Amino acid sequence: MAFAGVTVDRDWTIGPWIKGKNYSVGMPARPESTDAGIAIDFPTTPRSHVHYVTFDPGSLEGKSEIVMRYRIDAEPGTRFVPQQEPDKPGAISLFFQRRGDNWSARGRYEFYRWYAPTAKVKQLSRGNHEIRISLDDPEWISVGYRNPAVAPELFEAAKRDTAKVGFVLGSDVLRGHGVYATGPARMTVTGFEIR
């Protein structure tokens, strides 16, 4: 099934996978392919959580924008709970990662993972949603909480040699640190475009 230029069954993964371990505990390796797009069911226990949902887009060089549309179906009152900050609301953020990241966030690797500007982070909630972000926005945040002005050449290198793009789930601060739901909930990504 093709989805905005990406083969769903082959390219999208649920992770992150680091040294052979999937940090999205209790989740399948891939989202489900549906007629509406790709779908994930949120875990409903603190022992399980979903962190990153990504694919390899090739280079982002020359691209200007990422647009994601999604729907969350859940019963009224369902909470989305960040694994490491359970008193905060669950949040979703767009993300891209440079090829060769060692996940240490130290030295140059502090600039291998980039998360959407704070103003573009959305709380997880029922209904239809859209996230639209310019790839030239000066407020992207590195894994070390710095913006592109600190290391513009490394920000451009990450766009030029991109390994992963997609969305991460966590809190507004600990962006990809995982979320679970307090009741059955499904998220369907109905569109994901890199323009």
Residues paired with residue 131 on neighbouring β-strands, in sequence order: 68
pLDDT, residue 39, reads 97
Residues of the chain with pLDDT under 50: 1-2, 5-9
pLDDT tens for 112-138 read: 999 999 999 999 999 999 999 999 999
pLDDT, residue 7, reads 46
Residues paired with residue 141 on neighbouring β-strands, in sequence order: 115
Q: What mean pLDDT, rounded, does the chain reach?
A: 94
pLDDT, residue 10, reads 54
Other CB atoms closer than 10 Å to residue 130's CB: what's the count? 11
DSSP state of 17: E
Other CB atoms closer than 10 Å to residue 50's CB: what's the count? 28
Pairing, β 17-18 against β 13-15: unpaired
pLDDT tens for 32-58 read: 999 999 999 999 999 999 999 999 999
pTM for the predicted model, two decimal places: 0.94
pLDDT, residue 37, reads 94
Give the separation between CA 45 and CA 42, rounded to whole angstroms: 9
Give the separation between CA 156 and CA 148, rounded to whole angstroms: 9
Give the separation between CA 141 and CA 163, rounded to whole angstroms: 17
pLDDT, residue 1, reads 41
